[in-house]
Protein backbone atom coordinates (compact mmCIF):
# COMPACT_ATOMS: atom_id res chain seq x y z
CA UNK A 1 0.00 0.00 0.00
CA UNK A 2 2.85 2.37 0.78
CA UNK A 3 4.33 1.66 -2.64
CA UNK A 4 1.07 2.76 -4.36
CA UNK A 5 1.03 5.99 -2.33
CA UNK A 6 4.65 6.75 -3.24
CA UNK A 7 4.00 6.09 -6.94
CA UNK A 8 0.94 8.35 -6.83
CA UNK A 9 2.98 11.16 -5.31
CA UNK A 10 5.71 10.75 -7.93
CA UNK A 11 3.12 10.83 -10.73
CA UNK A 12 1.55 14.01 -9.32
CA UNK A 13 4.98 15.66 -9.07
CA UNK A 14 5.87 14.70 -12.66
CA UNK A 15 2.54 16.02 -13.97
CA UNK A 16 2.99 19.25 -12.02
CA UNK A 17 6.55 19.67 -13.37
CA UNK A 18 5.34 19.10 -16.94
CA UNK A 19 2.53 21.60 -16.42
CA UNK A 20 4.99 24.25 -15.20
CA UNK A 21 7.34 23.53 -18.13
CA UNK A 22 4.52 23.90 -20.66
CA UNK A 23 3.34 27.18 -19.12
CA UNK A 24 6.89 28.58 -19.10
CA UNK A 25 7.46 27.68 -22.75
CA UNK A 26 4.07 28.90 -24.02
CA UNK A 27 3.94 31.92 -26.28
CA UNK A 28 0.73 33.43 -27.62
CA UNK A 29 0.02 33.22 -31.34
CA UNK A 30 1.88 35.61 -33.60
CA UNK A 31 -0.02 38.19 -35.65
CA UNK A 32 2.33 37.26 -38.50
CA UNK A 33 1.59 34.38 -40.83
CA UNK A 34 4.13 31.73 -41.86
CA UNK A 35 6.27 32.08 -38.71
CA UNK A 36 6.32 30.07 -35.52
CA UNK A 37 7.14 31.36 -32.07
CA UNK A 38 10.22 29.16 -32.02
CA UNK A 39 11.54 30.63 -35.30
CA UNK A 40 11.02 34.19 -34.10
CA UNK A 41 12.74 33.64 -30.76
CA UNK A 42 15.65 31.85 -32.45
CA UNK A 43 16.17 34.84 -34.78
CA UNK A 44 16.48 37.12 -31.76
CA UNK A 45 18.66 34.74 -29.76
CA UNK A 46 21.11 34.26 -32.67
CA UNK A 47 22.11 37.92 -32.70
CA UNK A 48 23.36 40.63 -30.38
CA UNK A 49 21.00 43.18 -31.94
CA UNK A 50 18.37 44.74 -29.73
CA UNK A 51 15.73 44.70 -32.47
CA UNK A 52 15.51 41.95 -35.07
CA UNK A 53 13.44 42.10 -38.25
CA UNK A 54 11.20 39.05 -38.43
CA UNK A 55 8.83 39.75 -41.32
CA UNK A 56 7.89 42.19 -44.06
CA UNK A 57 4.21 42.26 -45.08
CA UNK A 58 2.98 44.76 -47.66
CA UNK A 59 3.41 48.14 -45.93
CA UNK A 60 4.52 46.76 -42.56
CA UNK A 61 7.83 45.58 -41.12
CA UNK A 62 7.70 43.44 -37.97
CA UNK A 63 10.50 43.37 -35.40
CA UNK A 64 10.97 41.63 -32.08
CA UNK A 65 12.87 42.86 -29.04
CA UNK A 66 13.40 41.79 -25.44
CA UNK A 67 11.93 43.43 -22.37
CA UNK A 68 13.48 43.79 -18.96
CA UNK A 69 11.54 43.09 -15.78
CA UNK A 70 8.37 42.67 -17.83
CA UNK A 71 8.35 46.35 -18.80
CA UNK A 72 8.18 47.92 -22.22
CA UNK A 73 10.36 50.99 -21.57
CA UNK A 74 13.59 49.31 -22.75
CA UNK A 75 11.79 48.27 -25.95
CA UNK A 76 10.70 51.88 -26.50
CA UNK A 77 14.30 53.07 -26.13
CA UNK A 78 15.51 50.42 -28.60
CA UNK A 79 12.87 51.55 -31.09
CA UNK A 80 13.74 55.24 -30.71
CA UNK A 81 17.39 54.46 -31.33
CA UNK A 82 16.74 52.31 -34.41
CA UNK A 83 14.26 54.73 -36.00
CA UNK A 84 16.48 57.70 -35.16
CA UNK A 85 19.37 56.23 -37.16
CA UNK A 86 17.32 56.83 -40.32
CA UNK A 87 16.78 60.51 -39.47
CA UNK A 88 13.33 60.23 -37.92
CA UNK A 89 12.76 62.46 -34.90
CA UNK A 90 10.76 61.11 -31.96
CA UNK A 91 7.71 63.29 -31.27
CA UNK A 92 5.81 61.42 -28.59
CA UNK A 93 4.10 58.32 -27.35
CA UNK A 94 0.41 57.59 -26.91
CA UNK A 95 -0.49 54.16 -25.55
CA UNK A 96 1.25 51.56 -27.70
CA UNK A 97 2.08 54.06 -30.45
CA UNK A 98 5.36 55.91 -30.89
CA UNK A 99 5.28 58.86 -33.28
CA UNK A 100 8.16 60.12 -35.39
CA UNK A 101 8.56 62.86 -38.01
CA UNK A 102 10.97 63.45 -40.88
CA UNK A 103 10.71 66.04 -43.64
CA UNK A 104 7.10 66.79 -42.74
CA UNK A 105 6.09 63.14 -42.91
CA UNK A 106 4.80 61.14 -39.95
CA UNK A 107 5.80 57.58 -39.01
CA UNK A 108 3.80 55.50 -36.53
CA UNK A 109 5.39 52.56 -34.72
CA UNK A 110 3.25 50.34 -32.52
CA UNK A 111 4.32 47.88 -29.86
CA UNK A 112 2.62 44.80 -28.54
CA UNK A 113 3.64 42.81 -25.47
CA UNK A 114 3.83 39.35 -26.96
CA UNK A 115 4.97 37.60 -23.80
CA UNK A 116 6.57 38.48 -20.51
CA UNK A 117 10.00 38.56 -22.17
CA UNK A 118 9.31 39.80 -25.71
CA UNK A 119 7.73 42.76 -27.49
CA UNK A 120 6.57 42.77 -31.10
CA UNK A 121 7.12 46.01 -32.99
CA UNK A 122 5.13 47.03 -36.07
CA UNK A 123 6.72 49.71 -38.26
CA UNK A 124 5.37 51.31 -41.42
CA UNK A 125 7.57 50.27 -44.35
CA UNK A 126 8.24 53.89 -45.30
CA UNK A 127 10.78 53.74 -42.47
CA UNK A 128 13.12 51.73 -44.72
CA UNK A 129 12.08 53.38 -47.97
CA UNK A 130 13.46 56.77 -47.00
* CATH assignment at residue 123: 3.30.310
**pLDDT of 25 higher than 60:** no
Q: What is the torsion angle, in degrees rounded to the nearest 10, for the CA atoms of residue 28, residue 30, residue 36 and residue 37?
A: -40
CB-CB contact of 44 with 35 (8 Å):
no
pLDDT-derived band at 34 (thresholds 50, 70, 90) equals confident
CA angle 81, 58, 40 (to 5 degrees): 60
Predicted confidence (pLDDT) at residue 17 exceeds the cutoff of 70? no
Q: Quick one: which of 24, 59, 60 has its CA closest to 41?
A: 24
Distance between CA atoms of residues 79 and 82, nearest Å: 5
**Residue 17 belongs to a domain:** no
* C-alpha distance from residue 106 to each of 25, 124, 130 (Å): 38, 10, 12
Q: Please report the sign of the dihedral spanned by the C-alpha atoms of residue 11, residue 16, residue 17, residue 18.
A: positive
pLDDT per position as a tens digit, 67-124: 877 677 888 898 999 999 889 999 999 988 999 999 999 999 999 888 888 899 999 8
13 in any annotated domain: no
**Residue 49: its pLDDT value, please?**
84
Structural domain contains residue 83: yes
Quick one: pLDDT at residue 98? 93
Hey, is 51 helix, strand or coil?
A: strand
Which range marks the domain in which residue 91 is found?
31-129
pLDDT at 40 over 90: no
Q: Is the pLDDT of residue 18 over 70?
A: no
Amino acid sequence: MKKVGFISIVIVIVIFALFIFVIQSYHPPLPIENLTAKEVIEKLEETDSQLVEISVEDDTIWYITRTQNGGISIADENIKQMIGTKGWEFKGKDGAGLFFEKDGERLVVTTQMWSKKYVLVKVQSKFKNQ
